[in-house]
Structures are given as structure tokens and as C-alpha cells.
Copies of this chain bind each other. A is one copy, B any other.
Amino acid sequence: MAGSVVSLDNPVFASYAAYAGLASMKMMGMSLVTAYHRLTKNVFMNAEDTSFGNKAGAVVRTDNPDIERVRRLHQNDLENIPPFLVVGFLYVLTKPSSDVAVWHFRAFLACRLLHTACYLGGLQPWRAVFFFAGFATTVSMAVQVVAKGAL
């Protein structure tokens, strides 16, 4: 019954799926935060986008601090969440202990949410702490995947 590992009937896989879905939506949500700031700050990235703003003052600029901060945060998500999504799936296939696996998923998502709060709030060294803790969670899973894989 090797196939049934990849099934929502497998509690470890069901946990992975839920956290993967939440992490995906969290990352995509950064687009909405960026859009909110663009509309309220009247600052856009393409000339044609200024039609969404207050026409008198809408400008194309890339130096609004609030917008650029969210964009840096979104980029950090792009660097970290897609590898988690794939590595987490492969990690489930290594048949880890259920508790250990679920806490990997929880720790990753918690770190990314706390990283987000710290990035938006400009809080260091906490942002770095949560970045590296989330990073280590993914690396921990990746190491086990490589160890049980075949080169």
C-alpha cells in the first residue's frame, strides 16, 4: 500500500496538504497587500496602471518605502515557500514520524508568519531569527529526502 502515503487519508499527508495550502495563500496574499498600498499611495509600476489611481496624482515610481518593503518580503517568500512546498511533499514520502513531521510543517508556517510580521514592522534581529528558523526547517526535511533518495 505504498501509494496510500500520498492521500488525504494519511494523517501526515493531510497535515502537509493543509500547511502547504496555507503557505501558498500566505505568499499569494502579498500581491494583495502590494495592490492595497499601490492604490492608497497612488504609486504604480506601469503607466497604464495609473488609471486605477486618483488621476490627478497617480505616478509610476519604484521608491515608495511601504510598497518596496512588501515587495522585498514577497520576494523572500518566493525564495523560501516554493522549496518548502516541494520538499515537504517529498519528506512525507520518507515516512517520517507523524509528530516530528507535523511539527516541521507547523514550525515552518509559524516562522514565515512571524517573519512577515517582523518584516512589516522592521524588527531585527527577530526577522532574521524567524527567517533562519524557517530556512532550517526546510533544510532539515531536504536532508532527509536526499538521504533516502538515490543519486
Q: Please report A residues at the B interface, Cβ cutoff 8 Å.
A: 1-9, 11, 13-22, 24-25, 27-28, 30-31, 45-49, 51-52, 69, 72, 74, 78-80, 82-83, 85-87, 89-90, 93-94, 122-125, 127-128, 135, 138-139, 142-143, 145-146, 148-151
Contact = CB atoms under 8 A, between A and B. Distances in A.
Nearest to A150: B14
Identical subunits present = 3
A25 B79 CA distance: 11
A2 B2 contact: no
> What secondary structure prevails in chain A residues at the interface with B?
helix
Contacts of A90: 17, 20-21
A106 B35 CA distance: 25
